Chain A
C-alpha cells in the first residue's frame, strides 16, 4: 500500500487517456473543420 502507481498502471493510464481523449479531440477537430467548409 502507498507505493504509488506501478509501471503497468502508468502505461495503461497513458494508453487509455491517449486513445479516449486524444481520439476524441482528433475527431472533434475533424468535425469542426468539416463544418467550416
Chain B
C-alpha cells in the first residue's frame, strides 16, 4: 500500500505512464495492472447486478421458502456446466445495464465526482453493516455463528492454498496490484501524508471486513439454529452465502425481514459500486493520458467494452464461468502482478527513492527494512506461493473440464498479458501531459 501510494504520488500519472517513467520498457506492467481490474470488473459488476436485483426482490422476499431454487433456477437459470450456455437472465441483464450506466455517470466527469459519490456510499454502507451486526447479534444462535467465525484453526496454516487465498484476498480487498492505488494516489495533494494514509486505508478496510464478519456469521448462526443443522453444512462462501444462505436467514427473521433484506443488499451494492468504478478508473486514465482522448469518450468506450465482456455472465453458464475466471484472475493474476511490481520497482529502479519520497511527506517514517521487504521478502513469499499453487492446480482434480479452465482461466490471463505489450507498442500522443 505504501509502495503503490508512493509510486502514484511520485509519478502523478496513470499506471502505464508511471511504469514508463520508471523505465520505458516497463510500460507494459502498467497496462497489465490496469487491464486485470478491468476484466475483474466485467464479472464483479454482475455480482453487483444480482445485489441490485435482490434489493427489489427483498421488497416481497421473492425467493420464498427455497432461496437456492430461486437463485439458481428462477433468477439465473444455471446450466449443468460451462459448455451449456443456456438462456439469458433478463432481470440480471437489465440490472447489468443499470450498473454500467451508473459506472459511466460516476466516472466520465473525473475524480471530483468519484469523491462526491464515495462520501455518501462508504459511510452509508458502514452504518448499514453496524445495524445488521446489531440485529444479527441479538438473534438466537448468533454466538455459535460468531464462535465459528472467530475460532482459529491453526492446522490450516500449513496449507499453501490458504496463504494464496489470503494474499489474493488482501490484494483484492485493498485494491493492490490493480493500478487503482497508483491512480488514486496520483490525485493526492503534494503534501499528502503517504504512510499515514496507507495505514488508515488498510486498517479501515480490515475494520469494515471484521465488522461485516459479525453481520454475516451471527445471522448464519441463527439460520443453523433455526434449521437444526451445523454451520459447516450451510453455504458460507461465495455467491451461495450472499444469495442463498443469507436470504434464507432473512426470511426467518422474527421482526422486519423485508427491511433487513433491503438494507443488506443496499450495503453490499454501495460497497460494490465503489469498488467497480475504482477498477475501471486505471484503464480509463491510462487510455485518456496516452492517446489524449477525452475522458467522456474513453469512459464510454471502456464501459461498452466492459458491458459486452460481462454478457457471458448473464447466461445460464455465467456462474460457472465466473468461478473459473475469478479463480485464475484474482488468485493468480493479482499475486503475479504484485510480484512483478515488487521486482520492477525493487530491482529495476531504486526502491530507496520511493521510501525517501514517502518519508518526505509522511509523519510515520519508514526505515531501510522496507526496502528489504519489497526487494527480497515479499517476492520470495509470492514466488513460493505461486509455485505451490500451480503445482496444486495441476495435481488436484477440478470441478471443471481442462478446456474450460484453459478457455476461462488461462486464456484471459494470456490475452491480458499480450494486450499489455500491444498497448505499449501502440504509438500514443507523446505531448500528453502528466496527471
Q: Is the CB of A24 within 8 A of B152?
A: no
- A31 to chain B minimum Cβ distance, whole angstroms, is 5
Interface of B: prevailing SS: helix
Q: Is the CB of B150 within 8 A of A27?
A: no
Return the contact of B199 from the options A2, A10, A13, A27 (Cβ within 8 A). A27
**Which residues on the B side are within 8 Å of A27 (C-beta)?**
196, 199-200, 203, 364
Quick one: closest A residue to B208, CB to CB?
Answer: A20
Residue interface mask B59-96, A partner, CB < 8 A = 1: 00000000000000000000000000000000000000
Q: Is the CB of B210 within 8 A of A1?
A: no
Return the contact of A31 from the options B146, B151, B200, B210 (Cβ within 8 A). B200
Please, how many angstroms separate the alpha-carbon atoms of A5 and B363 in the complex? 39
**Which residues on the B side are within 8 Å of A1 (C-beta)?**
141, 144, 225
- Beyond contacts A3-B147, A6-B147: 18 other A-B pairs, Cβ-Cβ < 8 A, are A1-B144, A1-B225, A2-B141, A2-B144, A4-B147, A5-B146, A8-B151, A9-B151, A16-B150, A16-B210, A19-B203, A19-B206, A20-B203, A20-B207, A21-B207, A28-B200, A30-B364, A31-B193
B419 at the interface (CB under 8 A from A): no
Q: Is the CB of A34 within 8 A of B150?
A: no
B143 at the interface (CB under 8 A from A): yes
- B200 to chain A minimum Cβ distance, whole angstroms, is 5
Number of interface residues of B (CB under 8 A): 22
**Which residues on the A side are within 8 Å of B207 (C-beta)?**
20-21, 24
B259 at the interface (CB under 8 A from A): no
**Residue among A13, A24, A27 with the highest chain B CB neighbour number at 10 A:** A27
Interface on A for B, CB 8 Å cutoff?
1-6, 8-10, 12-13, 16-17, 19-21, 23-24, 27-28, 30-31, 34
Please, how many angstroms separate the alpha-carbon atoms of A15 and B210 in the complex? 11
Would you list 15 pairs from A and B whose C-beta atoms are within 8 A, ordered by A residue?
A2-B141, A4-B143, A5-B147, A5-B150, A9-B147, A9-B150, A10-B150, A17-B210, A20-B206, A20-B207, A20-B210, A23-B199, A24-B207, A27-B200, A31-B363
- A4 to chain B minimum Cβ distance, whole angstroms, is 6
Return the contact of B152 from the options A2, A12, A20, A21 (Cβ within 8 A). A12
Quick one: closest A residue to B199, CB to CB?
Answer: A27
Q: Is the CB of A30 within 8 A of B363?
A: yes
Quick one: closest B residue to A22, CB to CB?
Answer: B203
Quick one: closest B residue to A9, CB to CB?
Answer: B150
Indicate whether A30 sits within 8 Å of B143 (C-beta atoms), given known contacts A6-B151, A9-B150, A12-B152: no
**Which residues on the A side are within 8 Å of B204 (C-beta)?**
24
Please, how many angstroms separate the alpha-carbon atoms of A13 and B147 in the complex? 10
Quick one: closest A residue to B209, CB to CB?
Answer: A20
